[in-house]
Chain A
């Protein structure tokens, strides 16, 4: 288990102090695949580097299985080489002056977690086998392709049987097809080894495929921690909602726990325990249902299809209700191409946030 408590980190750049981490609390459970997700500059890499010991926080505590590896006061700092970790860097950091075997062997023969000389070759073969690089031992590292370097980096990270595997955007330098393939292999390998993984990425699809749990980060803060389903269906704020796929925002006024008067008309929502007053209502494009003729009823409004684009597996339509235009993802055969249409907003799919929530801010970014 990795416990992070109250971690703050500031950087000085050009005379200005920038807060990279504004007080992070986090627990990664044993055997869990935990993803730190956020746009660039959100502090996710800084947090990973603090956990690795490559960066020292200004405040807070970090503990591995209850043993403090960093504490601001009383001062505790266990250097990276003494922490039980393996790490895959974004650039892979494969030592170009060595062969594949030497890259792994150096760690095993000279590291703080070295093993008996007689076992080194066996271990090298074993970890190379894990990443399907059998017989690559004597290949000079600089002759490897990007994908192969990535796998050597993973093998090296696993060589010392670390308790924790830290990965910093390990797939971002691979091309799209390879990325999908490697993504699957990493997931399978982590499950087989039962290792605790902390994984940094800015790609929400990657995060959703890999993670047991995801922490969504923005501007040095954790916005929400949860499994992919929770984050998609029950975002705690509009930033998280926007980070996981597109969403339509409609301004309105909360009348009571269930009713909102919006720009497009009255909507019924599942229970919302906020103050009555201005709110924003969000619904994802694929959750809006279109029908040719109105049957009337709850959350069914009259609209007009302005344009639609046929994409094969789906249709993207611009639908205008009153003066507001919404994006709708529909199945290819359940809509009229252009013209008057009935629009249904299933109430269990609607999210509501106070109007002060940073919708505008998110748009500005």
Chain B
């Protein structure tokens, strides 16, 4: 067995579980039984969900939240991208940095902040509005489809920004200039040239964001579940871990299967639009940058107000609310009286033993998952781009699946496999190992894409020269490819480490005990248990733990890489 065979084996070994997970989910939907009992196959689950009014309501909720989140994120993303790419706004690199860091702020974090702001019972804004205008009922309700879409959209707007910026950047600026020099005024050029040309790119971004919204878990879990508003992901979660009845794996499997079909269709559409968009992309060899629109002092002020409003609403306000909540034993709007009750009691009262266990587990995950993923994806990328293997496109396709399939479904498949298939052979259920494995699989798409992009820019002759010089494939990888790929790998490692740290969706299904508890799960546990203020305090604690990694990321993760990854 030579090096090439080993690379093939590693790549296949990494991708087989992906296919296995999909098969398991489909199978789950037809399956009925309990551990150790004989299995019965049935269509009952599909019949149950398709005849249940609740399924349709959940679907409407999900579509509503996703659509609103697309609208909200693009309303912020498109003007911001235009300001950064086409105007002389000063301090653009700061906008990029803030956007990158915003993406790292856990969504459950901002979701909690918004509950404190707009919850009908405790939300500060509602209380203020009620007292000012003498209202009987709360005018705003975050625990609604619109509210969840708003919070989700704010969280996804930095992603939307990055994608829209990319569309602007790949567009030949001469296309706009050709309009200007031939007599089109700026807004006409915008209307007839810029907008139609960026439309496919923006549509692709919208589909991408919609797909993410469709399977989003954190916002519905923090805001919706306690108010009995379910989306697909929380519905699946609820079927896996109901409070009163037994888990209903069959129903979860059936709903997941439907969701997978929907997600794959959306991904297909996404790629179709993206291919169409790439027809418009022109890479010019020109050394000049497009002439930037001069904003002038008033335009600049408006731009900063707009950006400031966005960052305050999306990040600063929720953060301040969490800090305020963390300092109080029960939540109340700021007042002199409330100020007198400020204390660190919540922090003393936190389950520190559990937090330390969670910190230890999270640290292990942050170190192992990115490393393992990069090793596997190096092999996958090599097969896709360098092996000349006939089925390499199949590898590419399978490597994309973990991105298309909602991550909660990957976790469910893993739990099901651990409970019913591997129970007697490999005890994985409730271990830290199963978290590491599922996290790794879920990151395959991202890492493969990053490595593919970088590897495609390395001329194969660099490796061929080494082969000609007598080096073997692993030596070539170690001596030639790894050094050349190093910046991309370091970046991808840090990014994945941070995403693993804040991961809640898969953990919500996979974490079952203190041995594999993670920090976000502890926060969520406190939240679900009704200790909102303690949850806020715990949130601040895990944010502090996260800071060193974020600083590392900001040092190494340059702006260009961040865009490439999206």
Contact = CB atoms under 8 A, between A and B. Distances in A.
Interface string B356-396: 00000000000000000000000000000000000000000
A27 interface: no
A142 B279 contact: yes
Nearest to B189: A81
Contacts of B287: 40-41
7 contacts: A53-B180, A80-B181, A81-B179, A86-B182, A90-B174, A107-B184, A113-B182
B185 A97 contact: no
A53 B181 contact: yes
Contact of A81 (B172, B175, B185, B193): B185
B288 A81 contact: no
Name which of A94, A110, A156 has the most chain B CB atoms within 10 A of its CB: A110
A219 to B, nearest CB: 15
A152 to B, nearest CB: 11
Interface in B162-196: 172, 174-175, 177-186, 188, 192-193, 196
A52 interface: yes
B27 interface: no
B182 A111 contact: yes
A311 B185 CA distance: 55
A81 B181 contact: yes
B77 to A, nearest CB: 22
A93 B174 contact: yes
A191 to B, nearest CB: 23
Chain B binding surface SS class: helix
B291 interface: yes
Interface string B53-75: 00000000000000000000000
A8 interface: no
Given A87-B182, A90-B286, A96 B177 contact: no
Contact of A54 (B172, B181, B192): B181
A79 interface: yes
A341 interface: no
Contacts of A92: 174
Interface residues of A, number: 41
Interface of B: 172, 174-175, 177-186, 188, 192-193, 196-197, 279-280, 282, 284, 286-288, 291
Interface in A51-70: 52-56
Nearest to B289: A11
A160 interface: yes
B181 A52 contact: yes
Contacts of B197: 95-97
A114 B188 CA distance: 13
Given A95-B175, A96-B197, A86 B280 contact: no
A205 interface: no
B180 to A, nearest CB: 4
Given A45-B288, A55-B291, A110-B192, A91 B181 contact: no
Nearest to B172: A91
A43 B188 CA distance: 30
A83 interface: yes
A160 B182 contact: yes
Contacts of B172: 91, 93
A86 B182 CA distance: 6
